[in-house]
């Protein structure tokens, strides 16, 4: 017969071995996850194109006399709308730039005001139009809070996403009574 000491070693060994399949499964999952995060040449090229487009659009807006009032990299999820609240002032000229992931198939941006509806809505099919960004200028007709809704559809769960909002001083209106 076995002594109590040998039985306890045997019990510990058996208990440890029962966790072995779980440990191996966890290790395999971690290996798969780490391999899926490797940057491919296509991903590197997309990041380069994305950053170049951001620099181009900011440079053009600044050259045209706009100044940045909001810019951020957005933490979008694939195919999920993200709502951003933006306060705008009447008579001010705004320029919006939304740059999506170059590997996306669809990029969508909508500027909305409660009681007014969609003021601007842009949907881009990336493969067909060879564009992964949208930009538009807008003279604000009424001060208040506006909703800017963005989304994109593509192969990644967290696509590259960037927003920049620019403004110029109030637009001069013709108020002379001639």
Q: Domain holding 83: CATH number?
A: 2.60.120.380
Q: Give a yes or no: residue 20 inside a domain.
A: no
Give, as one character, the DSSP assignment of residue 127. H
CA atoms within 13 A on the CB side of 143: 4
Question: What count of other Cβ atoms lies within 10 Å of the Cβ of residue 52?
Answer: 10
To the nearest whole percent, how much of the chain has pLDDT over 90? 41
Q: Give a yes or no: residue 152 inside a domain.
A: yes
Mean pLDDT computed over every residue of the chain: 80
Q: Give a yes or no: residue 29 inside a domain.
A: no
Tens of pLDDT, residue by residue over 106-116, are 888 888 888 77
Tens of pLDDT, residue by residue over 33-92, are 444 567 788 888 889 999 999 999 999 999 999 999 999 999 999 999 999 999 999 999
Q: Give a yes or no: residue 7 inside a domain.
A: no
Number of structural domains (the chain) is 1
Contact 162, 98 (CB under 8 A): yes
Domain of residue 123 covers 42-170
Could you give the residue ranges of the DSSP H alpha helices within 109-157? 126-129
Give, as one character, the DSSP assignment of residue 78. T
Q: Give a yes or no: residue 104 inside a domain.
A: yes
Residues 6+ apart with CB under 8 A from 106: 123, 124, 125, 126, 152, 153, 154
Q: Supply the pLDDT for residue 131.
A: 82
Q: Give a yes or no: residue 138 inside a domain.
A: yes
Tell me, yes or no, if the pTM score tops 0.85: no
Dihedral-angle region of residue 144 (phi above 0 means left; psi in -120 to 50 means alpha; beta otherwise): left
The residue with tokens 């391999």 is 35
Between CA 143 and CA 89 the distance in angstroms is: 4
Q: Give a yes or no: residue 64 inside a domain.
A: yes
Give, as one character, the DSSP assignment of residue 79. T
Contact 129, 26 (CB under 8 A): no
Q: Give a yes or no: residue 158 inside a domain.
A: yes
């Amino acid at each position: 017969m076995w002594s109590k000491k040998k039985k306890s070693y045997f019990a510990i060994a058996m208990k440890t071995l029962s966790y072995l399949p779980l440990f191996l499964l966890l290790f395999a999952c971690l290996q798969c996850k780490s391999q899926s995060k490797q940057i491919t040449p296509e991903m590197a090229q997309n990041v380069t194109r994305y950053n170049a487009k951001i620099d181009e659009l900011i440079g053009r807006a600044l050259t045209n006399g706009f100044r940045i009032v909001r810019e951020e990299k957005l933490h979008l999820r694939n195919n999920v709308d993200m709502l951003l609240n933006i306060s705008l002032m009447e008579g001010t000229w705004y320029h919006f730039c939304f740059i999506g992931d170059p590997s996306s198939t669809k990029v969508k941006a909508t500027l909305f005001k409660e009681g007014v509806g969609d003021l601007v809505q842009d949907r881009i099919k990336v493969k067909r139009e060879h564009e992964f960004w949208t930009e538009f200028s807008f003279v604000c007709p009424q001060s208040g809070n506006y909703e800017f809704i963005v989304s994109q559809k593509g192969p990644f769960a967290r696509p590259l996403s960037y927003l920049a909002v620019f403004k110029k001083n109030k637009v001069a209106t013709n108020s002379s009574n001639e």
